[in-house]
Structure 1
Amino acid sequence: MSNKVTPAAQPASFEEAMAELEQLVAQMEAGELPLEASVAAYKRGSELVKFCAGQLDKVDSQVKVLEGEMLKPFASDSAVEADE
Structure 2
Amino acid sequence: MASSVTDTTLSLTWDAVTYEAGIANYEVFRDGVSVGTSATNSFDESGLTADTEYVYQVKAIGSDGKESTLSAELSVTTASAV
Higher relative contact order (CA 8 A, sep 6+): 2
Q: Normalized against structure 2, the TM-score is what?
A: 0.24
The structure with the largest alpha-carbon Rg is 1
Structure showing the higher helix proportion among its residues? 1
The structure that is strand-richer by fraction is 2
